[in-house]
Every structure is written in C-alpha cells, then in structure tokens.
Amino acid sequence: MKLPEEFQKNICEVYGDIGRQWLVNLPLHLQALSRKYDLRSMIPVANLSYNYVAIVENAKNEKWVLKTSPQGADYRKETLWLKMHSEVAPQVQMFDEGYNAFFMEFIPSSHTLQETVYQGDDDKATEVLAGLIHKMYSKPAPIPEDIPHLSTLISSFQFLKGKLSDAFVDKARTLWKDLTVAQTSDVFLHGDLHHDNVLVTDRGPKVIDPHGYLGDPCSEVGAMIYNPLGWEALHDEKRLRRRLEILGEVLPFDKKKIRAWAFAKTMLSMAWTVEGSGRVPPHELRIAEILENEL
C-alpha cells in the first residue's frame, strides 16, 4: 500500500510509535472496515494529511467519506460538532469508536476555498469564512460535556521558548490567558476553520475537519489568518489588513479583539509546528510580527 510521504511523516510526528505501528497495520485496518460495512470500493483522496480519508461505496451504491486515524484522534468531538452544525457540514452516517473511524455523506466538490484564494479572489474567500462564523455562532446552542476549553492549550507556548524572544512569547502567552477566560458566551468551536477545511459545493460552502474546543466564537478568525500555509501573498501587510477589514465588517466582534485572536492563534500554530518539527515557520512569524505591532 503506497502512502504519501508527507502523510506518513505527519502521522509519525503527531502519534510517535503508535502512529508508526498504525501505518504498518493500515491495510489490515481498512480491510476490516470494508468487511464490516460491506464496502465495494475505496479511493483515497489526493491530499492525505493527518487522517486517512477515502471516498467509499457500499453494497447499496451509497457513497460516503471514510475518515480514520490512530486512537489519539478524538473523533467523538469531531462527529459531535458536525452533527450540531449540519446546516453547514456533511451529515455524519456513523461513528465506529472501536476502529476509530467514521463515515459522513459524500458531497461532490471540485475544490476548497484554498483554490479560491489561489485563483486571485481572496476577498471572496474571506467573506465566505466570515459568513460561516456568523451563521454558526449567531444563535445559542447546547454545549456538549467533556469538551476541552481553549485555555488548556496555553502550555503549548513553552515550545517557542528559545526559538523567539522571551518578550514576544510572553506577550502571546499573556494574551492567550486573557482571551481564554471562561465566559457564558463561550461556544462549541470548530477550532481550525481555514480555507482548506471549507468545501465549495452546489449546496453552498460545507465545513469539515473540526477540532472541537470550547471558547470565544471570535477565536474562529485565527486559523484563516495564516492560511493557506505557504501562500506568499500573506507576507504582504496590505493583504493581511484587508482580511482583518472584511472580518471587522461582517462579524459582530470588536476589531481589536479580532486582531488579538489572529495574533494569538498564529503564535499557537507556530508553537505546534515547533513541537512537531523543531522549526519556526517563517511566514507565520512574519504575520505574527505584523499583528503584534498594533496590539
């Protein structure tokens, strides 16, 4: 079974020895799922990253999307979020906790919002993301039990120590602490809402791959600020300011708070990259420096 090198690298970085063994056992794992759910075909998606994802078809000629990963991946949170936001997400068909896998409806899509950016319409992509945030969190919704709060992620900033100046890291850590004080307005967040997690479909934009945390709905602006990863135009301060301007126009959040969350989430993303690879991503550092200047 030939798997993309980047996918294997990601699994090993995140899950260590458990991930390496899971990759070895993956062919048998998929065979067992095929037998259990009477799957007749399984075609992996082209851009495997941190999960094995495939388009499958069962004996009833129903097309689903299969998603599976090592046991460390918490699909309970993911499937809960998708079910709660079915108006903007694919429908979950079933969750198999024993195999740490779930199936969701297959919605035809030729591209994600990332392609919209690459095609030169970053404003449109930003407007779509802002509109989704507004739609998802404008109405009160129940909070599931046993969902971690964003405040629990503060320890991740330790990975930036020695990589960036202490003052820079301390500012991010202090800001994170202030932004993640528990509030009655906290919601069940997607937690990683960016361009490649939004499918462009005939039924409107559809959101996938939620991480699932509790926290301030304004925090959802963060991941889209430093994505698409490696997009050189984000080094342009003008482009970054334009994104912040659109977010401020569409969303009912304080503009200073939007900027603060953009900075804090960018720094958190850098910390996770350093944790996994030991390197500071230069484009995220540039974005954080631009944002930090006006905080």
Q: What is the pLDDT of residues 208-257, one digit of tens each?
A: 999 999 999 999 999 999 998 766 666 678 999 999 999 999 999 999 99
Q: What is the CATH number of the domain that holds 145?
A: 3.90.1200.10
Same domain, 27 and 146: no
What does the alpha-carbon distance between residue 79 and residue 35 come to, in Å, rounded to a whole number? 23
pLDDT at 139: 86
Same domain, 120 and 82: no
pLDDT at 194: 96
Q: Quick check: 128 pLDDT over 70? A: yes
- Boundary-marking domain end, from 75, 105, 135: 105
| Tens digit of each residue's pLDDT (9 = 90 or more) over 57-99 | 999 999 999 999 998 888 999 999 999 999 999 999 999 999 9
Place of tokens 């499958």: 56
Same domain, 101 and 158: no
pLDDT at 287: 92
Average pLDDT over residues 40-47: 92
Q: Quick check: 173 pLDDT over 70? A: yes
Average pLDDT over residues 261-273: 97
Same domain, 93 and 174: no
What does the alpha-carbon distance between residue 66 and residue 44 come to, in Å, rounded to a whole number? 9
pLDDT at 294: 84
pLDDT at 64: 96
- Boundary-marking domain end, from 85, 105, 125: 105
Same domain, 178 and 257: yes
Residue pair 86/208 in contact by the 8 Å Cβ criterion? no
pLDDT band with cut points at 50, 70 and 90 for residue 56? very high
Place of tokens 């301030």: 216
What does the alpha-carbon distance between residue 129 and residue 103 come to, in Å, rounded to a whole number? 25
- Boundary-marking domain end, from 64, 82, 105: 105
Q: Is 3 exposed, middle or buried (0-12, 13-18, 19+ CB in 10 A)?
A: middle
Same domain, 197 and 216: yes
pLDDT band with cut points at 50, 70 and 90 for residue 27? very high
Average pLDDT over the chain, rounded to an integer: 94
What does the alpha-carbon distance between residue 39 and residue 59 come to, in Å, rounded to a whole number? 6
Same domain, 146 and 247: yes
Same domain, 126 and 157: yes
The pTM of the full predicted model, rounded to 2 decimals, is 0.91
Q: What is the CATH number of the domain that holds 21?
A: 3.30.200.20
pLDDT at 232: 65
- ω into residue 144 within 30 of 0, thus cis? no
Average pLDDT over residues 151-176: 97
Same domain, 212 and 130: yes
Same domain, 115 and 233: yes
Same domain, 128 and 269: yes
* Buried-exposed string 186-201: b where 16+ CB fall within 10 A, e elsewhere: bbbbbbbbbbbbbbbe
pLDDT band with cut points at 50, 70 and 90 for residue 276? confident
What's the domain count of the chain? 2
pLDDT at 235: 61
C-alpha distance from residue 194 to each of 25, 26, 174, 210, 227 (Å): 31, 28, 25, 10, 6
Expressed as residue numbers, the domain containing 204 is: 111-292
Residue pair 220/133 in contact by the 8 Å Cβ criterion? yes
Same domain, 54 and 179: no
